[in-house]
Amino acid sequence: MEYKLELVLVPVTDVDRTKAFYAEKLGFDVDLDVERGEDFRVVQFTPPGSSCSLSIGRGITQAAPGSVQGLHLVVTDIEAAHADLTSRGAPVSEIFHFGQDGRTPGPAPDRADYGSFLSIDDPDGNTFLVQEVGHKPR
């Protein structure tokens, strides 16, 4: 039996503002934008290369806007991801690392897999971590 995670609901206050943020600043594909009256709208996005999508909207969740914390976007090159996101105007953190024990902030030798990150907050404060996995040193 396979269980595939394919959709995560992200609660937001302003659907149009957040749609523009995810599409323009993060470069996510807009898969769907459906409105059924004033009480229901769903916008679905898929990050490039992902098989899991995100949905925002009205009437899709009762969770508080900004309550989703720590969703991980995985990349093979954290420096290239930082450059891409900053070129789009996304409000990203500087790259940070966790030490060899996986918990202590500090230098990650050779940008070790699972140890190099940057963070992004959407307009409501939902947070994403971009994590480097599969990096091949030059």
pLDDT tens figures, 8-59:
999 999 999 999 999 999 999 999 999 999 999 999 999 999 999 999 999 9
- The architecture CATH gives domain 7-58: Roll (3.10)
- Torsions phi, psi of 80, nearest 5? -65, -40
pLDDT at 5 over 60: yes
Tens digits of residue pLDDT in 98-111: 765 555 555 545 67
Task: CATH 3.10.180.10 in the chain: give the residue spans.
Answer: 7-58, 71-132
Contacts of 111 (CB under 8 A, 6+ apart): 78, 97, 132, 135, 137
Residue 85 belongs to what H/E stretch? helix 78-87
pLDDT at residue 98 in the model? 78
Q: Which fold has domain 71-132?
A: 2,3-Dihydroxybiphenyl 1,2-Dioxygenase; domain 1 (3.10.180)
pLDDT value of position 114 = 86
